[in-house]
Structure 1
Amino acid sequence: MATRHLYAVRHGAADSFGRLTDAGQRQSELLGERLAGLPVDAVWHSPLPRAVRCAQIVGEYLPGVAVREAAELLDHVPYVPDEMPPAWAGFFDGYDAAQAAEGAVIADSLTDRFARPAETETHEVLITHAYPVAWLVRHALDAPPVRWLGLDCGNTALTAIEYRDGLAPTMLLYNDMSHLPAELRWTGFGPGALP
């Protein structure tokens, strides 16, 4: 088995209809510029429009690199805790067992497909949503399932994880926004003081 270099990204900023905003398009362009310096083999994206468009823009900076859909990258809630942290009770209000089971299936398929070494050395970009990125980080760190809660991720922030045969995953970056100017950072987060 060879090293899989995984670059997990939340899509650019989007409006309430799921379309990239002007800021989201610019974030996607800057992400493409940053990734252009890497030997990217494939760009995988969620089937949702905001991720599709972000991937198309990134693909423009990676000539010859395949840009494809991966159902495993769909936005989903990967894990619903049995004992709800009080701060999250409202988020899960009305979330039923069937929805929780469906999210768990998608989460398992995400890690089964991408969170492992590859047959050949590969560099793959995953353009997805905040929750799948949080789930991949939690999985890479071998943290309890509930720890995906609170692992927020900004629009087009870069998370890099390496998977090698026989070794624990290596977290290289989490939520890195260094390719974005100050006015395009921290989008996708709730209100509050940010560093």
Structure 2
Amino acid sequence: MPTRHLHVLRHGLADPFGELTEVGERQMELAGRRLAAVPVDTVWHSPLSRAVRSAQVLGAHLPGVRVREAAELIDHVPYLPDPMPAAWVGFFDGYDVAHAAEGERLAAALTTRFARAADVETHDVLITHAFQVAWLVRDALAAPPESWLGLPYGNAALTTIEYRDDRSASLIVYNDMGHLPPELRWTGFGPAARP
């Protein structure tokens, strides 16, 4: 039975303007080295510049592998419960019904395209954003839609999900930063201690 191996990474650290930083480039270089031993078929990336550059850096370690854009990987809010949990109200201030409808449309397109079995054995790498990684993990676990909220995800961290026709999705690795030295882990999060 063919398996689709989906290796999902959040882009490397970006500056406030959305451009990959030197630290982000180093993170993605290390991620590329880690994935060099995997028989990757395609590296897919979000159209946003931080993901585009991340895919270029990572792809340099995967000779002959196609690097392609996928609009479904763009940064968006996939789902918000109504009523919204009080802890998230300030974070999503200004998010309206039109944003919600577009976010749900993009989330459905993301899972329809990538969260499924393939006809042949395949290894796809997705370079995307924290919310999309959390949404794919929530989907793989068949958890309620609001479960994606609060799933932390580090820059250049690796999540691997496997899809087969004969069983539910399997979450193999989540938010793995073993390829990054400690000073490059959890970039972009607050000062709280992290494992």
* TM-score, length basis structure 2: 0.98
Measured after TM superposition, the shift of residue 91 of structure 1 is 1.4
* TM-score, length basis structure 1: 0.98
Superposition CA RMSD, Å: 0.8
Find out whether 1:129 has 2:129 as its counterpart: yes
Q: Kindly provide the amino acid, as one letter, of the partner of residue 111 in structure 2.
A: T
Find out whether 1:117 has 2:96 as its counterpart: no
Q: What is the correspondence of 1:61-72 to structure 2 with a 5 Å cutoff?
A: 61-72=61-72
Q: Which residue of 2 aligns with 1:175?
A: 175
Q: Kindly provide the amino acid, as one letter, of the partner of residue 119 in structure 2.
A: E
CA–CA separation in structure 2 for the residues paired with 1:191 and 1:142: 31
Q: Kindly provide the amino acid, as one letter, of the partner of residue 91 in structure 1.
A: F
Q: Which residue of 2 aligns with 1:194?
A: 194
Q: Which residue of 1 aligns with 2:184?
A: 184
How far does the alpha carbon of each residue in 1:30-49 deviate from its partner, in whole angstroms, 9 at most, with x for none? 00000001000000000000
Q: Which residue of 2 aligns with 1:55?
A: 55
SS in 1 for 2:6: strand
How far does the alpha carbon of each residue in 1:51-94 deviate from its partner, in whole angstroms, 9 at most, with x for none? 00000011100000000000000000000111211110111222
Measured after TM superposition, the shift of residue 122 of structure 1 is 0.3
Q: Which residue of 1 aligns with 2:17?
A: 17
Q: Kindly provide the amino acid, as one letter, of the partner of residue 94 in structure 2.
A: G
Measured after TM superposition, the shift of residue 188 of structure 1 is 2.3
Find out whether 1:30 has 2:30 as its counterpart: yes
CA–CA separation in structure 2 for the residues paired with 1:74 and 1:94: 19
Q: Which residue of 2 aligns with 1:84?
A: 84
Measured after TM superposition, the shift of residue 2 of structure 1 is 2.2
Instruction: List alignment gaps of at least 5 residues for structure 2.
Output: none
SS in 2 for 1:82: coil
Q: Which residue of 1 aligns with 2:160?
A: 160
Q: Is the 8 A contact 1:27 1:155 kept in 2?
A: yes
SS in 2 for 1:90: coil
CA–CA separation in structure 2 for the residues paired with 1:34 and 1:63: 14
Measured after TM superposition, the shift of residue 118 of structure 1 is 0.6
Count matched residues: 195
Q: Is the 8 A contact 1:153 1:188 kept in 2?
A: no
Measured after TM superposition, the shift of residue 104 of structure 1 is 0.3
Q: Which residue of 2 aligns with 1:103?
A: 103
Q: Kindly provide the amino acid, as one letter, of the partner of residue 183 in structure 1.
A: E
Q: Which residue of 2 aligns with 1:44?
A: 44
CA–CA separation in structure 2 for the residues paired with 1:168 and 1:91: 33
